[in-house]
Amino acid sequence: MTLGTAPIRTQFQRLLLDPIAAVQDHLLGPIIIILDALDECGDAESQESLISLLVDENMTLLFVSAGILPSLKCSSTSPRMPHFNICGLEDSHVLNAEVPDLSDRIEAHIPAELKYASSFWAKHLEDAGLENEILAELKGLINIRFFYWLEVLSLLNQVPTAIESLQITRSYVPQTDAVFQILLQDAIRFLGGFSPLISQSAPHIYISALPFAPRESSIRKQFAPAFPQAAQFTGPLGNNWSSTLKVFQGYTHWIWSVALSPDGKQIVSGSWDKTVRIWDSETGNVIMCKEHTMMIQAVAYSPDGQHIAVGIGNHPNFDETSVFLDDSPYISGTIRRYDSNTGALVGSPFGTEHVLSIMYSPDGNSLVFAYWDDKRFRLWDLMTGTVVRVFEGHTGPVRSVAFSPDGSRIASGSADRTVRVWDLYGNLVAGPFEGHNDIIHCVSFAPDGNLIVSGSADKTLRVWDSATGVAVGRPFEGHQRNIYSAAFSPDGTRIVSGSHDYTVRVWDSTNGSVIAGPFEGHQSPVTSVAFDPDGKRIVSGSVDSTIRVWDAELKVAAIEEFPDHADSVTSVSYSPDGEHIITGSFSGAVQVWNSKTGLLVAGPLELEGPMSSRSLSTDGERIVCIGEGELKIWNYKSGTVVTRLFEKELGPTSSYAEYGGISRCKFSPDGNHIALVLWNNGNIIRILNSNGDDAISPSFDGNTNGVACIAFSPDGGQIATQCMDGTIRVWDFKTGALLVGPLESAHSAEKYITFDGRYLVFSPDSKYLASTDTPTSTVRLWDSARGAAAAEPFPELAGYVTSLAFSPDGTRIVSGSVGSTLRVWDTHTGATVAGPFKGHTSNVESVAFAPDGKRVASGSRDKTIRVWEIEPLDGWGEHPCFEDGWLMNSSSERILWVPPWLRDGLYLPWNSLVICSRGTTKLDLSQFVHGTDWIKCREAIREIFEEEL
């Protein structure tokens, strides 16, 4: 057999691999191999064989051919070319990664040339240029086979290449071809919003991504008519693209720092769940996760993207209510560096204290870092492994440090309210820059090094001349709370900021005007923000344990605002007749809603400051609320204030918002009295007449460590208290005698304080007392007369319980948790009888049964109110759920995926009412096909239409 007639594999081995192997020890660099053979292989089988040999992880390939696009454009009826359901996936409930023989299906149905063409056709465009014939082929691909191309990339796990390919294509298409330019731009935006889903499931490209594209989307208009058996939705948020591109979930605790790799393809993040994670910025897949023994406070990429630096620390006696205070105690810590590709530890850990801020020098040879409670900061030489400089001069702890782009200077921001600029020798070269009137949390240089931006607890950003310290323009005002993070865009024209007010904003760096945002979606303070390298996207991390990716160029479209709370819904209850739902928010507003229509009936009735407690009288007409230094009693039907008392009458009170004393209030069952807890006055329970006058009352002596919540028994004869140390006591209301307790539990009430004290409730017959146990995430049931446990603890797997309520007949208990979950329990057995219900996108703060016991209302940190039907729904089973965007039935089958921008106000099948300020979204699933029927989503005539083209 001559070499010319030998199989392709043999020729490849003898002509290329063997000669290379013989000389590879003497080669100093990569080898470039030029093959002019693909079009001379003769038959398709030989071409495929050659391509399969070339597809090697150690080779970078560049094929030059004019025929690559035709391979994507071939007839959809050809079994070897891109077409609908190319690998014959039978069940949409099964993700790509769960298909047991997917690799075999890919091998059988996606030929090598199609694999290559799908991933690299844009590279050919860069080399060959855009001729009229190629432009026509491109239009055929995008206009007709766009979704089939995405399906191939989904199955090959190559979704990130899609956006890059479309961006390259758009740069070559003439601007005069406006229609095609618009389609390409919309395709890029489609991928920006749906790439996490597309990377998980090929079938859901058609049955989830396409149906939820905005109504004005060119992609939707182009392709949706061909897939009529799909979900439909109504609501004000479905017309145009949202500023939210993606939401990455998976952390179990707060995220404190995020950073983008220099090429923008990866995101590194650090959390208080003690893990560092690297994410694919397009798909949200976790590429690497490193576990530690302490909390992660700061992360940074090296300039070449090959390493990450991680600042670690330990917080003793962790207390969520004080974490944002400047004097929170932190002890011990270290800095570690990892290879960003392998996760291997690079060098030895260094540092001795909790690291708050960290950054690489532009040349990658040094790290500057600041400890949590230190007025100094340090420069670490990575070559020698030593601290080469300690910078001293601030009079308060340094909160943030940053290198200038040329690496010659370092900026620092401090709790002493100043910004300073230093050279690398420790000399102060500019500053202090004075103007902020509170702690400075962040500093960052502009790309040209001429400006510095600083963000402060005074709610403002300031821009400074980095050489002189002169303030450039006026402070940037707009955020409502502390600003924790700020950064310039790559071109220096914009500044992004993240705040304790839960929002991200983009500012014009020259005049301080808001040019994009506020971007709303995070349910807790935004701790870290960053632009991607091309300035088109923003990444943010938050205390809500999520990472969000935003469209930096999209101004927030004006939409109709609906009545709702502007802050967390911390309290919810039904009126006795069930006609109304009464809610209270953290900001101090009380609102009354029609329980069937969701229309606002009364309110907002407002306090002067944040609300710390609220209670509804049993006659359903009066509401008592306590906030900063005042107590108000409203008749909600008339909207009038019945009684208003101030601090001078009550004694000092302060709110949870200020992390100080906590006050609680509760109407007695007969409505004649109000029990008031004043922790700042000791462990005092004070009884008022409902008109606000003092009533003669016992002292209830014996509470310890501050009373966290209070509950009246329905018969009015008892008061139960729970203290900050977790102990529970039951008192005789008339005499003040201690009847039961202290009941000891592992619970520490400091971990989570509900605003209406609903983690301690009596059963309707007054025989039982339900409480929560935070460390074990359980619900406890007690005999209120004997103080004995009445049942085994009920385990809540979603996280610690924030709120409890008994059903009207006492046979069930509903709980809400920090895991955004509600669950209904059998009171005596602890068995789950309904739920878990998942639909809120943040912590459930309060729950209440309707008077008929058939439904439950909940209020959440996501600012929404939901009403849940307890009876199972046909087709969904007893325990449906909504998690990470997936609508699932009792069997945890993934029915439908909903994008982030539609989730807050989404009516789930088991919700009879949703109240959301941005409006609600309702699903129509009457024509929707899924599971083994999913392939019916496609219109049969579509195949004939494509064949004619």
Boundary residue ending a domain (524, 551, 578): 551
**Residue 886 per-residue DSSP state:** E
Distance separating alpha carbons of residues 417 and 440, to the nearest angstrom: 5
Residue 251 in any domain: the answer is yes
**Residue 353 per-residue DSSP state:** S
pLDDT digits (tens, 9 = 90+) for 549-608: 999 987 765 454 555 556 788 889 999 999 999 888 877 778 889 999 999 988 777 766
Same domain, 370 and 274: yes
Tokens 């009171």 correspond to 827
pLDDT digits (tens, 9 = 90+) for 120-169: 887 777 766 667 777 787 888 888 889 999 999 999 999 988 988 998 88
Given a cut of 80, whether residue 234 has pLDDT beyond it is yes
Residue 101 in any domain: the answer is no
Confidence of residue 511 (pLDDT cuts 50, 70, 90): very high
pLDDT at 512: 94
Boundary residue ending a domain (522, 551, 580): 551
Give the count of domains, the chain.
Answer: 2
Same domain, 760 and 616: yes
Distance separating alpha carbons of residues 367 and 301, to the nearest angstrom: 11
Same domain, 518 and 591: no
Boundary residue ending a domain (502, 518, 551): 551
Q: What are phi and psi of 136, to 5 degrees?
A: -65, -40
Residue 66 in any domain: the answer is no
Mean pLDDT score, 327-348 = 79
Residue 630 in any domain: the answer is yes
**CATH number of the domain to which 346 belongs:** 2.130.10.10
Query: Which of 72-76, 539-543, 553-557, 888-892 is predicted with the least confidence, judged by mean pLDDT?
Result: 72-76
Same domain, 491 and 612: no
Same domain, 633 and 532: no
Same domain, 583 and 715: yes
312, 297 contact by CB (below 8 A): yes
Query: Which of 204-218, 244-258, 385-399, 935-949 is predicted with the least confidence, judged by mean pLDDT?
Result: 935-949
Percent of the chain with pLDDT over 90: 47
Confidence of residue 504 (pLDDT cuts 50, 70, 90): very high
Query: Which of 25-29, 274-278, 305-309, 621-625 is predicted with the least confidence, judged by mean pLDDT?
Result: 25-29
Which residues partner with 248 through β-bridges?
547
Cα separations in angstroms, 448 against 134, 452, 487, 505: 41, 10, 13, 22
pLDDT digits (tens, 9 = 90+) for 446-474: 999 999 999 999 999 999 999 999 999 99
In the sheet that 886-888 helps form, which strands lie side by side, from edge to edge? 881-883, 886-888, 894-897
pLDDT digits (tens, 9 = 90+) for 820-864: 889 999 998 999 998 888 888 888 989 999 999 999 999 998 889
Residue 127 in any domain: the answer is no
The pair of three-digit structure tokens given for residue 297, joined into one six-digit string: 């406070």
Distance separating alpha carbons of residues 583 and 593, to the nearest angstrom: 8
> Can you list the positions of beta strands (E) in 133-274?
232-234, 244-248, 255-260, 266-271
Same domain, 584 and 507: no
Count other Cβ atoms within 10 Å, centred on residue 174: 10
Residue 561 in any domain: the answer is no
Same domain, 490 and 402: yes
Q: Tell which wins on pLDDT, 743 or 915.
A: 915
Same domain, 291 and 369: yes
Q: pTM value?
A: 0.81
Count other Cβ atoms within 10 Å, centred on residue 223: 19
Chain mean position to CA 93: 24
Same domain, 491 and 408: yes
Distance separating alpha carbons of residues 335 and 257, to the nearest angstrom: 14
Count other Cβ atoms within 10 Å, centred on residue 735: 10
Q: To 10 degrees, the CA torsion angle through 822, 827, 829, 831?
A: -20
335, 355 contact by CB (below 8 A): yes
The residues near 670 (Cβ < 8 Å, ≥ 6 apart) are 618, 716
pLDDT digits (tens, 9 = 90+) for 783-792: 988 888 888 8
Same domain, 615 and 489: no
Residue 124 in any domain: the answer is no
Average model confidence (pLDDT) across the chain: 83
Cα separations in angstroms, 613 against 206, 514, 630, 774, 816: 48, 35, 11, 20, 18
Furthest C-alpha separation in the chain: 112
Residue 621 in any domain: the answer is yes
Same domain, 541 and 640: no
In angstroms and rounded to an integer, the radius of gyration of the C-alpha atoms of the chain is: 31
pLDDT digits (tens, 9 = 90+) for 287-306: 999 988 888 999 999 999 99
Confidence of residue 747 (pLDDT cuts 50, 70, 90): very low
Structural domain boundaries enclosing 842: 569-926
Confidence of residue 741 (pLDDT cuts 50, 70, 90): confident
pLDDT digits (tens, 9 = 90+) for 307-325: 999 998 875 444 444 444 4
pLDDT at 679: 56
pLDDT at 258: 97
pLDDT digits (tens, 9 = 90+) for 173-222: 888 889 999 999 999 999 999 999 999 999 999 999 999 999 999 999 99
Q: Which of 60-64, 280-284, 643-647 has the highest mean pLDDT?
A: 280-284
